[in-house]
């Protein structure tokens, strides 16, 4: 479900006439969120076995998440990966570490010594989507690690190897509830003066009933996160793997969700 539509700020008045936010558009966006909440539940399906490719495509078509218990129970990584193993596997190799006050940095580094312990793809997703993953990413974090609220243009299969993770997932249509504001672009970056949309909604600051909370990150579980908005928190020492399958941009989902986002952002942008 989407969190409540945020209060609209008083528009900043610039030079010349400014009509301000359109109240009719605001009402239409509120009705959209209400209708979506009425037609879609906030409980995420938990499966006891891997879905068939057809079952997986049904979730993709609805753009809804699900969790698979025991999905990675036979993986070599699940049996072998722990802190000691990682230290030995990466001994003598350079690893970038970003130390930040709030753990929101996301450095990257190739992890070829670890890849033999992982399947190169997830069979039901490969068959259903008819493609290999664009990327296979390793996540290492702890209880202070947080990913900022963001939108992925991927069908994301997140497989937990160690530790636990909590997901706050929002449907792609919920952009109006994210209270995006315009951050100024650095000088010389991009021709648009309007700034970069940045979501200010914080899952920690609202009631849990206003979000899809998925505590799906127990070892060997896989969480399917569709192309949508998400924010994650780690619990303790966390090892996980992401399979990113590029979304299909044809059809109506991508242009319609972009239209909703642009309308919402225009309502909040100062005149």
CA distance 88 to 20: 60
Q: Full-prediction pTM beyond 0.85? A: no
Angle between helices 253-268 and 23-39 (to 10 degrees): 140
> Which tens digits make up the pLDDT trace of 215-231?
555 677 888 888 877 77
Q: Characterize the bridge pairing of strands 212-214 and 180-183.
A: unpaired
pLDDT of amino acid 9: 45
Mean pLDDT of 99-128: 71
- Residue (of 167, 114, 163, 153) closest to 137 by Cα position: 114
Confidence class for position 114, pLDDT limits 50, 70, 90 = low
Mean pLDDT of 87-96: 75
Q: Characterize the bridge pairing of strands 45-47 and 66-68.
A: parallel
CA distance 234 to 141: 7
Architecture of domain 23-92+110-268: Sandwich (2.60)
Q: At a CB cut-off of 8 Å and minimum separation 6, what does 134 contact?
A: 154, 244, 245, 246
Confidence class for position 129, pLDDT limits 50, 70, 90 = very high
pLDDT of amino acid 208: 36
């Amino acid at each position: 479900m989407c969190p409540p539509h945020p209060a609209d700020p008083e528009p900043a008045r610039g030079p010349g006439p400014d009509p301000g936010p359109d109240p009719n558009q605001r009402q239409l966006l509120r009705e959209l969120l209400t209708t979506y909440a009425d037609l879609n539940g906030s409980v995420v399906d938990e499966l006891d076995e891997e879905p068939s490719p057809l079952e997986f495509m049904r979730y993709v078509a609805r753009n809804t998440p699900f969790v698979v218990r025991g999905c990675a129970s036979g993986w070599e990584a699940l049996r072998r990966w722990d802190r000691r193993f990682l230290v030995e596997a990466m001994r003598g190799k350079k690893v970038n570490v970003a130390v930040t006050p709030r753990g929101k940095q996301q450095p990257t580094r190739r992890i070829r010594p670890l890849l033999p312990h992982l399947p190169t793809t997830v069979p039901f997703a490969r068959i259903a989507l008819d493609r290999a993953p664009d990327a296979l990413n390793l996540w290492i974090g702890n209880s202070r690690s947080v990913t900022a609220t963001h939108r992925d243009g991927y069908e994301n299969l997140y497989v937990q190897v160690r530790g636990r993770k909590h997901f706050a997932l929002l449907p792609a249509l919920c952009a109006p509830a994210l209270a995006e504001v315009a951050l100024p672009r650095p000088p010389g970056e991009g021709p648009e003066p309007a700034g970069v949309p940045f979501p200010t909604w914080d899952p920690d600051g609202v009631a849990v009933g206003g979000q899809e909370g998925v505590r799906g990150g127990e070892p060997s579980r896989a969480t399917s996160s569709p192309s949508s908005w998400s924010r994650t928190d780690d619990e303790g020492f966390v090892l996980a793997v992401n399979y990113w399958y590029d979304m299909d941009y044809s059809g109506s989902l991508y242009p319609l969700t972009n239209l909703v986002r642009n309308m919402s952002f225009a309502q909040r942008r100062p005149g």
